[in-house]
Structure 1
Amino acid sequence: MATRADADAAARQRRWTLVLVNLASVVEKADEVLLPAVYREVGAALGASPTALGSLTLCRALVQAACYPLAAYASARHDRARVIAVGAFLWAAATFLVAVSGTFLQVRLLPHSSSPSPLFPTPPVADMVGPTAARFLIHFSTARRQLPPKRSGYPNIPFIYYVYMQIKLATTTSRRIFLGVTGLWAPLGVMAHTPVRVESVLTCVDWPPQMAISRGLNGIGLALVLPAISSLVADYTDDHTRGAAFGWLQMTCNLGSIMGGSFGVLLAPVAFLGVPGWRLAFHAVAAVSVALGALMWLFAADPRTTKPSSKTAASATDEARELLGEARRVLAVPTFQIIVAQGIAGSIPWSALNFSAMWLELVGFTHWQTSVITGLYLFATALGALFGGVIGDPMARRFPNAGRIALAQISSASALPLAAVLLLALPNDPSTGVAHAVVFFIMGFAISWNASSTNNPIFAEIVPEKARTTVYALDKCFEAVFASFAPPIVGVLAERVFGYKPVSSDTSVDTDRENAAALAKAVYTEIAVPMAICCLTYTFLYRTYPRDRDRARKELLMASDDQLGEEAGDRAVRTREDEESSVGSLNQWLISRGE
């Protein structure tokens, strides 16, 4: 009866963890695609070109790639569910910092020579935080300069009371709305500028390159989450269901892209209390990320924590050394090398497609039309990922040595003609919206099979169970490094090769159409060449995958036999000790009877 109850509890725990892991995948992807979805608005607000906007993604991706080894170490040493929760908290903080960035590289709250007025805040403040919060910041700055400086740089209680009285006199809106808005901005000085004195931050010292730094911090949180999610899904499934599980995971990930992209595109043209819509979108995603992190911390569970271990706790140095050796063994697997090689090429087109929303808007589509088309495309990628995972399992059973590989080649090869039709053949005219939507949908469905049908299931088959987090982290690391260069290269190609002209407020429709054509050619260049390389690279798996899979299975059987032998030896020793103890007790009893 107890066994039945334990089994039910374990099944319930497994379901809850998988649900939360998929939710984490949704929010992670929504956070990742939010900035590309509002590239045009951010570029107009901060005066950034496509190359500069692409460099933000480059900054995030490079930091993310550099932190994947840290993610592997954290997942090996700690509860992976808690690691995901911490990652969610980190990317939430970074997303908040993006929302409050004032310029691409530098921000000033007030000019050094300004005379702040509570009724007429200077434009940088009003544009950044809205008129109400601007009045708060200006009064805070004015009041702080009227007091003697504190060595610690933080205001004391009388100063806080004085600021409150100043705010109460200056604010003309209701206190409820005022406190609600300014309360959201209160952590700004603490989270973004803790080394800077409060009065310095509010008296317009030049801020650091906050947007780029914030995207870099965002990469740390994302790096912690992704390998832990993949390894948890792999541990909770077996060889016959793993493809479908990764298909569902990829589908939820793509649904996150739909929600994040559509949310950003639709909210970008509106404003609330003077705060631009794209900033509100980042605030909302940050709040949802915090809630998700709390749920992961409280309710998700790592299956490894429920398994008893006979090993004593090792030091951090020993674990790091063991993790390094494990990484070397993973890197030596030929199948892993080939999948990483194709992934380096295959991930570049996905990064280039981040410019799809910007391209559609330049063609002349409205924000609503752009949201619908990109939403259909992302929904198609979600369906394609699920289809690839579901069809990959029976293909692997029917053709164990070639089924998964063939699916990946079909998917990657289909990108070349479909992208050519979309980006080069269709006219740059918003009247062809239906045709754009149909081609986007077909392409999204066809090119999204690889991860769920082939890469992730094969990774779980070619390494031991304990090395799964490492293999996923290393794969993400190598792919992210090279994929991170795709957005800046798209910008360089568009501007330097195909004639893209910087966008200004008085840009004509004809200029937008010319920019759309230039951007389309740049994006197609970064789709066709890498996808062709990706498709050809998969061919080498026909030789290496069966050998590496069989070797991993043999090692698993040998390890199981060794463990069974050790357990049998332990039982034999205990039995012999029990027999000797029984004989000794009998002899002692006979001796006592004889006396």
Structure 2
Amino acid sequence: MQRWRLVMLTIVVALAFSMEQADLGVVQSLYGPIARSLGCSAVTVGLLTTLRGVTQAVLTPFVGAAGKTMNRIYLAMIGTLIWGITNIGIGMASTFQQAAAFAGLNGTGLALVLPCVQSILADVYSADRRGLAFGLVMTAGILGQTIFNYVAISSGDQIIHGVQGWRLVFYILAGLAGMTTALLFIFGLEPRTASRRVKLRGETGLGERRHNPIPSYSYKLLPRHLYSSIKAMLQDCKKLFTVPSFSVILLAESIAAVGASGTGYQVLYIETIGFTDNQTAVLSIVFSLGLAVGMVAGGILGDAFAKHFSRYGRPSVNQCSIAVTAPLVALFFKGLPGAAQFSSGVPGQMHKYVALYCAVLFLVAIAAPMEQSNNAAMYAEVIPEELRCSAYAFDRGIFGLLGAVAAPLAGILAKRVWGGNDLSRKEAPQASPSEMQSFHALEIVNARALENANMAVIVGAIVLRAVVYSALYWTLPQDKQALLRQQAAESCIKDLPELTGVELVRLQQAVSRKTSHGRASSLSVPSHEDRQDSSKAVRYASEPLMDHMRAPASAR
């Protein structure tokens, strides 16, 4: 692949990521304005995220199956087009029910886009550069979220040319989704196209040799092929869960999805403790910029550690990230001057602490997201190429489902366990002194409730993930070596043109049995020294071939 095409493809993928993050962040930043406009509570508005995530989770497995045989760029284009249409619908909604219907359809777009572009990115970058590639693309997503968070927070309650600010934000999102669709059509490139059947990435040294045959495209999601599509999806699922590292990472991602529900109420919490809208927007920008730095830093550190410590490099980066994040989160909610025990609840009284909050939020944001770019790279290291789209689809589906279900969790805990009340309430411009005093007292109660709820959700998820990642120290080296043996064996098979079709199928089945995960076979696992010698890895992978060649012709 020519370098300029690789650069343009990466930029387009990054734009798709930024649209997804902006779409998610905007809803979370507009909980208050949407709730007041549609006449519901902030907790109810959180159900918009739930509906979208459920739709995404239901559809992503089918997208994974479709991505094996269909052009993934076209699938992503359809997804971004759906984004645009549904964002227009949300912006035009006059009731919560209408907004909920379009939010559910919005999940269809997410299901189509993210697994496809993630698997394309994994295909075009080599193992030693994937972490950085995913980090840069996810950074672009965070930057998109940063811009729209600022716009949403600063203009959500405004009236702009007769249009409510939060509605205008969704219209802008729709326009950018249409632009992304056009750019995908112009610059998007499916790496598996027929014109690139030979050493797709090896030609420019940008990746390793392709070991799998390039599939032909077909439209297997048409109704007459629905049964076969479901069957293929279930087969892919079965294969994926035979890879222990995939299950471990997926579990950690699932826990992270639940923990992320606390960040959805971060803007509301910052406003509650006394920051103005503009100050809240500044803090949100700083947090998003920290996330962008953390994504890249996680990818770079993961690549560097994986290069020098292949057995435990990436898992150790994840656990170090978690070890730094937990105390910083506790400090943010309980140790700063704006905490409920120190706050007066009066808006505008926190201006002298803006710099302090910016510093702490920036550090939290750098440490927290490192594992995301690292996990995306680890998937590509242990999952066969033909299953990567399905792997990313399942990951996004499970993450989206649990994140959607857990989206209102922090709000529900704050309201029902810690006594929060009327979380979306806004101070009236004209009020008597007694009413103002009552309002400020209520804000302190709400701040304490949000602090406790966020601490329970976020820190609890952090501790659980730290335990789960420990399993990767055992599973990751074995899964990486098993994938290497499988790829080497498939490469050796292609060098035996004298085999008949039946013999080739039988031999491939033998290789699959030898290299399958969780087996009890005679194929031994190479020692640590052997793992450093690629020629020995090929020899291990070639055992089924040697067995075939030694067998008499009548037994083949």
Contact 1:364 1:513 in 2 (8 A): no
- Following superposition of structure 1 onto structure 2, how do residues 200-215 of structure 1 map, counting pairs within 5 Å? 209-215=97-103
Contact 1:357 1:370 in 2 (8 A): yes
| 2:79 aligned with 1:87 | yes
Deviates more, 1:355-364 or 1:399-408: 355-364
SS of 1:564 mapped into structure 2:
coil
The TM-score normalised by the length of structure 1 is 0.74
Q: 2:284 matched to which residue of 1?
A: 374
Mapped to 2, the partners of 1:448 and 1:369 lie a distance apart of 24
Mapped to 1, the partners of 2:392 and 2:215 lie a distance apart of 25
Paired amino acid for 1:280: L
Match of 1:495 among 415, 430, 437: 415
- Following superposition of structure 1 onto structure 2, how do residues 410-559 of structure 1 map, counting pairs within 5 Å? 410-428=320-338, 429=343, 430-431=350-351, 432-453=353-374, 455-502=375-422, 503-504=424-425, 506=428, 508-559=439-490
Distance change (3 Å), C-alpha of 1:73 and 1:365? same
Mapped to 1, the partners of 2:6 and 2:214 lie a distance apart of 24
Contact 1:71 1:225 in 2 (8 A): no
1:152-194: CA deviation from partner (whole Å, max 9, x where unpaired): xxxxxxxxxxxxxxxxxxxxxxxxxxxxxxxxxxxxxxxxxxx
Paired amino acid for 2:488: L
Mapped to 1, the partners of 2:236 and 2:146 lie a distance apart of 37
Shift of 1:21: 0.7
Q: 1:158 matched to which residue of 2?
A: none
Contact 1:29 1:260 in 2 (8 A): no
| 2:397 aligned with 1:405 | no
Q: 1:289 matched to which residue of 2?
A: 177
Deviates more, 1:476-485 or 1:250-259: 476-485
Paired amino acid for 1:459: Y
Shift of 1:413: 2.6
Match of 2:258 among 320, 328, 348: 348
Deviates more, 1:476-485 or 1:334-343: 476-485
Number of equivalent positions: 457
Paired amino acid for 1:562: I
Distance change (3 Å), C-alpha of 1:492 and 1:340? same
Mapped to 2, the partners of 1:257 and 1:310 lie a distance apart of 36
| 2:293 aligned with 1:383 | yes
Contact 1:57 1:484 in 2 (8 A): yes
Mapped to 1, the partners of 2:68 and 2:357 lie a distance apart of 45
Q: 1:22 matched to which residue of 2?
A: 14
Shift of 1:569: 8.8
- Following superposition of structure 1 onto structure 2, how do residues 288-367 of structure 1 map, counting pairs within 5 Å? 288-305=176-193, 306-308=195-197, 316=220, 317=225, 318=228, 321-367=231-277
SS of 2:189 mapped into structure 1:
coil
Paired amino acid for 1:451: Q
Mapped to 2, the partners of 1:535 and 1:225 lie a distance apart of 30
Distance change (3 Å), C-alpha of 1:374 and 1:557? same
| 2:128 aligned with 1:247 | no
Shift of 1:38: 1.1
Distance change (3 Å), C-alpha of 1:312 and 1:213? closer
Mapped to 2, the partners of 1:345 and 1:554 lie a distance apart of 32
Mapped to 2, the partners of 1:552 and 1:540 lie a distance apart of 18
Paired amino acid for 1:406: S
Where in structure 2 are there 5+ consecutive unaligned residues? Answer: 198-212, 344-349, 429-435, 502-556
1:486-515: CA deviation from partner (whole Å, max 9, x where unpaired): 221111111111111114454723322321
SS of 2:470 mapped into structure 1:
helix
Mapped to 1, the partners of 2:283 and 2:136 lie a distance apart of 22
Mapped to 2, the partners of 1:225 and 1:400 lie a distance apart of 31
Mapped to 2, the partners of 1:358 and 1:566 lie a distance apart of 65
Mapped to 2, the partners of 1:543 and 1:553 lie a distance apart of 17
Paired amino acid for 1:481: L
1:105-163: CA deviation from partner (whole Å, max 9, x where unpaired): xxxxxxxxxxxxxxxxxxxxxxxxxxxxxxxxxxxxxxxxxxxxxxxxxxxxxxxxxxx
Q: 2:33 matched to which residue of 1?
A: 41
- Following superposition of structure 1 onto structure 2, how do residues 109-258 of structure 1 map, counting pairs within 5 Å? 209-258=97-146
Q: 1:194 matched to which residue of 2?
A: none
Q: 2:495 matched to which residue of 1?
A: 564
Distance change (3 Å), C-alpha of 1:260 and 1:408? same
Shift of 1:70: 2.3
Paired amino acid for 1:337: S
Shift of 1:232: 0.9
1:340-363: CA deviation from partner (whole Å, max 9, x where unpaired): 111111222223201111111112
Paired amino acid for 1:376: V
Paired amino acid for 2:418: F
Q: 2:346 matched to which residue of 1?
A: none
Percent identity between the two aligned chains: 28
The TM-score normalised by the length of structure 2 is 0.79
Shift of 1:451: 1.5
Contact 1:415 1:527 in 2 (8 A): no
Root mean square deviation, CA, Å? 2.0
Shift of 1:230: 0.9
Shift of 1:216: 0.8
Contact 1:37 1:261 in 2 (8 A): yes
Mapped to 2, the partners of 1:50 and 1:314 lie a distance apart of 44
Mapped to 2, the partners of 1:269 and 1:470 lie a distance apart of 41
Rg larger in 1 or in 2? 1
Deviates more, 1:217-226 or 1:268-277: 268-277
Paired amino acid for 2:283: I
Contact 2:62 2:229 in 1 (8 A): no
Contact 2:90 2:103 in 1 (8 A): yes
Distance change (3 Å), C-alpha of 1:36 and 1:329? same
Distance change (3 Å), C-alpha of 1:249 and 1:563? same
Q: 1:266 matched to which residue of 2?
A: 154
Q: 2:536 matched to which residue of 1?
A: none
Paired amino acid for 1:521: N
Shift of 1:442: 0.5
Paired amino acid for 1:98: I
Mapped to 2, the partners of 1:374 and 1:26 lie a distance apart of 16
Contact 2:69 2:218 in 1 (8 A): no
Shift of 1:280: 0.5
Deviates more, 1:320-329 or 1:374-383: 320-329
Contact 1:67 1:220 in 2 (8 A): yes
| 2:55 aligned with 1:69 | no
Shift of 1:273: 2.9
Contact 1:254 1:378 in 2 (8 A): yes
Deviates more, 1:503-512 or 1:21-30: 503-512
Paired amino acid for 1:471: A
Shift of 1:327: 2.2
Shift of 1:13: 2.0
Mapped to 2, the partners of 1:465 and 1:51 lie a distance apart of 41
Distance change (3 Å), C-alpha of 1:236 and 1:49? same
Mapped to 2, the partners of 1:342 and 1:325 lie a distance apart of 23
Distance change (3 Å), C-alpha of 1:567 and 1:34? farther
